[in-house]
Amino acid sequence: MNIPFVLVCLVIIAGLAWMAYRNIHRLNRRIEEFDEERARQSLDPFSALAELFQQQENAQRKRRR
């Protein structure tokens, strides 16, 4: 076997493994932040629906003017 080729391949594999490790940790951190944000917000679907209707009414009022 060609030793330099094997060494280059091992370096590339190590670099790809390191990038995958970093991306996994970054993704896990973003998931935790998302879960924390979702836990802070209320899960009342009726208030969210009322807010959407209010926004829709405001948009219609602006169009009429």
Q: What is the mean pLDDT of each run of 10 residues along the chain (65 residues)?
A: 92 98 97 90 80 90 78
Global confidence as pTM? 0.55
- Domain coordinates of the chain in residue numbers? 3-64
- Helix or strand or coil: residue 26? helix
Torsion of CA 48, 54, 56, 60, to 10 degrees: 180
Q: What is the pLDDT at residue 4?
A: 93
Rg (CA), the chain: 25
Residue 20: left if φ>0, alpha if ψ -120 to 50, beta else—which one?
Answer: alpha
CB burial class (10 A; 0-12, 13-18, 19+) of residue 50? exposed
